[in-house]
Structure 1
Amino acid sequence: MKIDTHQHFWKLDRGDYGWLTPDLAPLYRDFLPSDLKPLLDSAGIEGCIAVQAADTEAETEFLLSLADTHDWIVGVVGWVDLEKETAPESIARLTEHPKLVGLRPMIQDIPDDRWMLLDELRPAIEAMRAHNLTFDALVMPRHLPHLLTFLEKYDGLRVVVDHCAKPEIRDNGFEPWASLMAQVAQSASVFCKLSGLVTEAGANWTTPDLQPYVSHVYEIFGSDRVMFGSDWPVINLASDYPQWREVFSSLVQDQPIQETLGAGVAAKAYPRLG
């Protein structure tokens, strides 16, 4: 099975997507499984992992309900307020659903860049460990020093870095991103998603603009810890699904693409998968 490890669904009338405004015209409508399935089929991808886009447990339950009715949605990365005293109970309740594979706090939108280091998070993080969930790190380059401390604090916790930590490609921001990511990759329990790069590269991006970043990710993580993700429908801000699938293939032509696309790496990153 080939898997897209990072995409989103949403319904505007649910009302909990605070970041989603009419200014984001390509995204300001409903995106549901019926919209994605033809794109997956045409790309030769048989399954996907739906990732939260709202900071509510209700949205997590919405995604899990979609996974109940579409067997090709093989996993869900949801959201829980990890600071709340009741977070461990929420995690235990949500993991009663077999398709919950991970949780993702929206770190990029939190004012405190050191938020992930708060001691108040420890009970929730330990509950994630106990329930075999993976921590999706929605971080940017400025968060990487703190992510390194986080990895030391929770040694062995499985972490997936979303969108390669959003390198500043449009500004040729290879360093210090590259050096910091190399340090992050030294932890064997950390994985990386090749996703979201075109939206970081600006309106006039080209495939060569992306190549140094993709090559570096493969060099430091190895093909057994890198996963394909579309970031659909957010990718529509700068590209579309068919184009990204084609560009991805050209970017990784010297790598074992079947491993990156395959369920094997995803199953190591998300052991509850399947």
Structure 2
Amino acid sequence: MIIDAHHHLWDPSDRPYPWMDDSVAPLRRRFDTDDLRALTRAAGIDRTIVVQAAHDPGETEWLLTQPAPVAGVVGWVDLTAPDVADRLATLTEGAGSDSAGPRGADPGPRLVGIRHQAHDEPDPGWLARPEVVRGVRAVAAAGLAFDLLVRSREHAAALALVDAVPDGRFVLDHAGKPSIAGEPKTTRPRAAEPRTTVDHPERGPADAWRSRMRDLAARPNVVVKASGLLTEAGPDWRERPVHRYIRETVEHFGPDRTMWGSDWPVSTLVADHATVLATTEAALADLSPTERDAVFAGTAASTYLVEHPSQT
């Protein structure tokens, strides 16, 4: 079984996506479940988690109507709203497993998490603002995960948030978005690269990233997505040490706290869906079957698809 723990669906004609500038022009079209289903069927992917891409509650409501293979939605809500708990309740009521329908019918996805594109906020400390912390506490109280979309500039605020909500479940998207494109190019065959260890000498643009990963991995309520790394490496990703970053991500957090996501269709800027999956599988070829099952299904299922009771 494989779960794709991070992908998107959108239709730019329905709502604005401010981040879709000319640099990502190929993405400015509809990507829907029919497109997704063709990819997942070919790859043997059983279920998926779709993730918000706009600060728009209407997008979340639309994502909650999507059919299989979508099993869960990481949506958006205004975390700073005084009635954030009520807004979360509205999104969860009647969705997914609790929805009424014909016996045996696919109940559709349910809300499993919340995300805010914090790396687009002008204030790098946005996640640590008191009103945001209050909102994330409401997310945790609703039994939902909170996805962290952060780079180096938001790292301190992300740590402060995690520490302020110890009962929350946090998911670090895209392994913290390391600057792989800044790494020296390599022509060494990837198959010849040895498995790394996290205590090797620090070097190059990976230094700060490793430090950030150690910080977050030390918090037991944080898991990580090995996703989006080909995109972070850029169009010439085959000449960058993508495999090393994938392996080190797992080494920092362990297989039981790492999940795979395609980041489709953003990933299509540099590679197709099958290549993203195959590259991750190749980088982690030396994992045991149990470890592989955790990365490619188990961690996503336990984080998103197991019913987590609301706190009372």
TM-score bracket, normalised by the shorter chain, equals over 0.9
Is 1:79 aligned to 2:76, yes or no?
yes
Paired residue for 1:88? 85
What CA RMSD, in Å, does the superposition of the two structures yield over aligned residues? 1.6
Distance 1:51 1:249 in 2: 22
Distance 2:277 2:307 in 1: 23
Q: Work out the number of aligned pairs and report it.
A: 270
Paired residue for 2:254? 222
Q: Which amino acid is 1:91 matched to?
A: L
Distance 1:271 1:50 in 2: 12
Measure how far apart 1:273 and its partner are: 5.9
Alignment CA distance shift 1:180-1:55 (3 Å): same
Q: Secondary structure at the match of 1:55?
A: coil
Paired residue for 1:258? 293
Q: Which amino acid is 2:140 matched to?
A: R
Check whether the contact 1:16–1:56 (CA below 8 A) recurs between aligned residues.
no
Distance 1:200 1:208 in 2: 10
Segment of structure 1 superposing worse, 122-131 or 48-57: 122-131
- The C-alpha deviation readout for 1:71-118, integer Å capped at 9, x for no partner, is 321100000010111222111111212410000011011111100011
Structure 2 residue runs of 5 or longer lacking an equivalent are: 97-109, 184-204
Measure how far apart 1:254 and its partner are: 1.2
Q: Which amino acid is 1:265 matched to?
A: T
Measure how far apart 1:251 and its partner are: 0.6
Measure how far apart 1:146 and its partner are: 2.1
Distance 1:227 1:270 in 2: 11
Distance 1:109 1:94 in 2: 24
Measure how far apart 1:22 and its partner are: 4.8
Q: What TM-score comes out, normalization by structure 1 length?
A: 0.94
Is 1:47 aligned to 2:58, yes or no?
no
- The C-alpha deviation readout for 1:96-145, integer Å capped at 9, x for no partner, is 12410000011011111100011112332222122100000011122222
Paired residue for 1:6? 6
Paired residue for 1:115? 126
Distance 1:134 1:223 in 2: 19
Q: Secondary structure at the match of 2:237?
A: coil
Check whether the contact 1:226–1:265 (CA below 8 A) recurs between aligned residues.
yes
Check whether the contact 2:6–2:227 (CA below 8 A) recurs between aligned residues.
yes
Measure how far apart 1:227 and its partner are: 0.5
Distance 1:142 1:21 in 2: 22
Segment of structure 1 superposing worse, 173-182 or 122-131: 122-131
Is 1:194 aligned to 2:256, yes or no?
no
Identity of aligned residues (%): 37
Q: Secondary structure at the match of 1:147?
A: helix
Q: Which runs of 4+ in 1 moved over 6 A?
A: none
Q: What TM-score comes out, normalization by structure 2 length?
A: 0.83
Measure how far apart 1:157 and its partner are: 1.3
Is 1:248 aligned to 2:286, yes or no?
no
Q: Which amino acid is 1:129 matched to?
A: A
Paired residue for 2:193? none
Paired residue for 2:105? none
Q: Secondary structure at the match of 1:20?
A: coil
Is 1:203 aligned to 2:235, yes or no?
yes
Q: Which amino acid is 1:88 matched to?
A: A
Alignment CA distance shift 1:273-1:244 (3 Å): farther
- The C-alpha deviation readout for 1:223-274, integer Å capped at 9, x for no partner, is 0011010000000111110111111110111123222112x21122225569
Structure 1 residue runs of 5 or longer lacking an equivalent are: none
Alignment CA distance shift 1:64-1:176 (3 Å): same
Measure how far apart 1:158 and its partner are: 0.5
Check whether the contact 1:16–1:55 (CA below 8 A) recurs between aligned residues.
no
Taking the TM superposition and a 5 Å limit, the aligned residue runs for 1:131-142 are 131-142=142-153
Q: Secondary structure at the match of 1:187?
A: coil
2:178 to 162, 167, 175: 167
Distance 1:178 1:23 in 2: 28
Alignment CA distance shift 1:164-1:147 (3 Å): same
Q: Secondary structure at the match of 1:152?
A: helix
